[in-house]
Structure 1
Amino acid sequence: MVKPWLSAALALIVLFIPLHPVIPAQAQPAALPRTDIIPGELIIGLLPGRAASALSLPKGVQLQPAAAELVPLNVSVLQVPAGEEDQVRQELLRTPGVVFAEPNYRVEAADIIPTDPLWGPSEYTSEGQWGPVAVRAPAAWEITTGSEDITIAVLDSGLDRSHPEFEGRLLPGYDFISNDSIPQDRCGHGTHVAGIAAASANNGIGIAGMAWNAKILPVRVLDNECSGSLVSVARGIVFAVDHYGAEVINLSLGTSIASRLLETATYYAYQRGATLVAAAGNSQTGGGAVLYPAKYPWVIAVAAVNRGNTPALYSNIGSELDVAAPGTRVLSTTPTSGSFYYQNFYDIKNRYGWLSGTSMAAPHVSGLAALMLSLPQFDHPDKVYAALTSTALDIGMAGVDPETGYGLIQADLALAFDPSSITPPEPPDPLVEYDYLDSTRCANYPYAWREIAHETFGTQLPIFGGDGYANVTLPFAFPFGGSTYTSLSVNADGYIAFDGRNGFNQNFIIPTASAAYPYTAPNAFIAAFWDDLNPSAGLEAGIFADVLGTAPNREYVVEWYRIPIQANNTRTELTFQVVLFEGSGDILLQYAQLKGPGSTGASATIGLEYNSGYSGVQYAYEQPGALREKQALRFSSRPPGTPRANECFLSGSLDAAGGEVSLEPFCLQVPAGLLDEPTRVTFSLLSKFPPVPADYRPLGRFADITLQPMPNPPFDPTPQVCYQYTAADVAAAGGRAANLYFAVYDSETHFWKRLPTRVDAAQNRIWADVPHFSVFGVFSAPLPQNLPVTGAPFPLAEGLGTVVGLVLILGVGWRWRRRTRV
């Protein structure tokens, strides 16, 4: 990106400029400092009825054209010889009819200087908070101090929930190290990073962060010794955007490993509108290049500078750098009590202390991004990036350089940047949308394996090796994603491509939201079990295809038979198939055999991608236990915005003895004596059901429950509805199952009614009495503003095992001791 020219004009923000009183003719006002005036200009005010054009002006003085806004004040501007302003001013004051004459004073924004006691020199550091000053934050705070509608997710070692600098602005986070809902910081790094980005200001204590009013989402992905794994970070990123819609994600961590998992997770967040900021790394002295995830194009890479705006010697270098921010001896918050890693290692004190590193530089940028996003014109990460890079102060080598990128961020100039010329790509509107129905939940869509012949020279496709594929001509035209295809490619790695992009053994997240660029190839595919598979490594393994039925209801079947997963090729066997239906365009995925480690989806992608890669529907991504043997998934298309045509239902029969009918995750318990005759119970599961009140937080779980014949309310005895909640449901409810509740829809009044809901923690169920039969929804109560002090741990769905350790981007601390790892 070419840095635009910055205007040299001075922007004036005037809070209050009083008119000067009439100065007697004999008064001789003192000369003002030259730096406080615009050279060569004077302002004169005249008595009512007097005209400036009628004045006898001193030699060399000219009347500027009248400014319309000054006419009502009877004020004019004069051009005078530079250097003679005071002399001419005194002469004009002796002229009849002149009320006042004064220089054209320079006026600058009235910077907001925080009253926090550690803003200036203190027991912690003689520099005070030099970082916000260096990036012109006080001038920016005159424009905005942030908004509670913006959330900064700090993916780090957690956060001290009891620190007063974050009071009232913490969101419930999650601990991906201990797998519980208490992301307490035992390292100290995360609390320090969060304080730089968003510590409260003017609260009578401590420091001022960059974005005073932003919400803070602590996500613990680093352990007590400040290290973690790619998996914990990837899970944390997806959690932050999926559960809280985090607008800013700070990643003061990194690795030299070019991880596909980290790449896809960061891009997943970027596609959903998050601005990602990451530290560049602290190993320049060892020839260190910019680390991942800062190295990715959609992540803002931040270098560190010292006081005085010189590049920090420890800060990693490279062409991927975007901007720089203060990183050396940065004062911020630390845990208030207890043992934490950096306290022991660096003698950091409780509550506050300074650390150095690009870890400290990144949250300056994250906090500024949160300030920008509080303004309506910054509605896309690309606009934030353009403002940051276009207004940065060029330091170091002229122009964009590998040490500081575009330069040191300038907060007030970034906020004043006009992003209207930045036009992020608009993804095309999808021509169709897809839904899927799962045989494990839908009785009307059962598993029904298609048997096809395994003939070496008949039905077997010539696909060999780990990344092999075969181009196939279809027996009928097949509609997919709004286009019609007569051919496709079958890939050894468990997917079918319609766009000719083949040989990709590294799966990635499907972009289920249309928000940015398509991720990468392929962009039109069916992923039945997309993983690194190898048909050549399995005994009797092969990939087969055949046509079943007669026109116009033919089925094209592709079967992966006894295919091993490359990572465990001696212990795994997968047999699954894709069925394409002529005419309807439906797609059926079926799984006959899932044998061995990872065979249920731990490292696979299952779903569809279409609309040139901008849209998709994802059943699972690297989720252990996502699949089971004898399972079927049927995908159906529909015009965008229309209701789903094929509904999932389960029917059962009850009589006077009552009983339970269930369609996971819902169930209905009917007590004995309620029904007078045999009754048919039908469930239909829905992913959404409008209208939902604005103050309700739906989980996307709805069940339409009907009885035939229908008993008349009020019911005596009372039936009960239940829902089997998952760890993800609890996470969405702020870590407490008690925040989940049922509501029932009234089709006559079109209102929802919240139902008293009970929690059965032993069975992971919630229960409610049924007032009448209709659509039941599961919702979450509003989340608390503060994290709980205690809470029972609960597991989230497991991800991959540790892939590679992540390290903090932290170089030096209280005693400037260097560590062996960055």
Structure 2
Amino acid sequence: MKRWGFIGLLALVACGPESSTRPVTRGQACPGVVAGGMTHRQGLDSPLPSRVGQDGRQAVIIRFHRGGGQTRASRITAAAGAELTRGTGAKVSAIYRNIPAVAARVTPLERVLLERSTLVESIEEDQTWAGQGLPLSLPARVLSSSEGVAPTDEYSAGLRLVQAPRVWDANGDGVVDPGAPTGEGVRVCVIDSGLDVEHPEFRGAVVASHDFLDDDEDPTDKSARGEWGQGHGTHVAGIIGARLGQGSVTAPRMSPGGMVGVAPGASLLIARVLDEQGSTRMSVVLSALEWCESQGARVVSLSLGGGTATRSAVEAFKAALDHGMLVVAAAGNQGGPVLYPASDPSVLAVGAVDANERRASFSCMGEDLGLVAPGVDVLSTFPRGLGAFAEMAVNDMAPMSRSLLYSPTGDALGRLVDCGQGESLDACQGATCDGFVAYVRPGAVPVDQAMSNVMMQGASAVIFGADDGPAGGVVDIMSLPRRGHWAPAVSVNQATSTVLRQRLGTYARLTLVPMDYTHVSGTSMAAPFVSGVAALLWSAHPTLTPQQVRAAMEASAHDLGTPGKDPVFGHGLVRAHDALQLLQ
């Protein structure tokens, strides 16, 4: 297993001896500094791949006539359609059971030949979809301070908010009550980026898996080179089904048991569809959807999206519902209308709120929104060693801080220097090449650009402050690109920001230690809370239909907006205990 270590401050800010105490020339960088160095971004903010491959072929979904007034001679099964498609020279990648269609990559000539066939109904774009963890490009905002401290037991603030412990640990003693519904007997299919299958929190949880990118049964979230992906699927799966009392490497003052999922007895089905950059094709998701059905899933958790409705996708999700599966999807992080497939009429769309039940500014809204759930600064499992816990010391203070996602671990000591918004190579006031701790106000430029700018001026660690918003908030979890040379970086709350600005010029120490958990924001984190609650309901009432499970969650939700269903919160905050009470 590869751990991200902090390989010495000199490796990150390798200033020559002759310039180690010399002030930086304004607008210029310290000699020999290596900062950033990305050739492309990787992680939650990655650019989407082109629909046209290097071989010049386009990714499409080819639909064939089936019923609907078509003559018998013009109807064809998907299997026969695959043979027809291959006959043109096209490369077929998937054949569907629930819809009369195949996925393929075609040249322009092959597409023309297929369009001329009387057996072909239409050819749809094979859209690119992406994970809905919080992108780096979103502006910083303010969170509740109640989520800023690691829980001393395994019950996170989000878990308590959806009432999961009240369902299976009514007396709060940290032990599952005999006979209580825990999701046992219910299979939840996580269609995502894969999983760290050796993470202790999932021991005994995964009953089947398939990697739809590598076409094998190993769903590990890694590239062919053995490099970890973004960890998105591991985080999502932990929210649903992390086991009670099976902790991995945790942080100081955090429960040694780690954390527990909403449905700690549920069986997990892992379908890897997102690549290391967090992207996939619609055709791959539809294949995974059919695989989930074949494996007996009752719930499908989809923390991805970004396309538009097509006839094939709408039919595929309706078939999933008709065949007994409830599909739960992230509403999206763009703040606008609910993204597809969450907006599909057969899918339950989930938006995000913070620990104070306030709507997350990034959460998409609209009439398609069904429920909301915790999606701000959510603690969950992460690929082993890639999470980080941060501690800060400034004089006699030890203020709360949160490591940036994918920040390297290690220890840094230096003067606290005001670097403004980190927007240029002369942003740091009084910077020297002997190393210092940069204080940056985020928002003017992307996080990685601000990091590069202040590191080039000699910064050995970076603190991102929060100058606006109510006291006690914590800056939204931000992310560094997976590749490149970075210094340890943290974010702090608004109250701490005020104190740090008063102590500019004094010495600060940052210590980041690796752990197997992390905090992430996004509607990707909200959707699995609802998936877990659905598993609890099915565990208690196995004969329910997907429509009945959804109706129970919506009718019992805590109404947060205007009375009744509204476009900001849908039916409200999902609550497991109240939903079970309603069913009983």
**Which is richer in helix?**
2
Greater relative contact order structure (CA < 8 Å, 6+ sep): 2
Which bin holds the TM-score, normalised by the shorter protein? 0.3 to 0.5
| Structure with max Cα Rg | 1
**Which is richer in strand?**
1
Query: TM-score normalised to the size of structure 2?
Result: 0.48
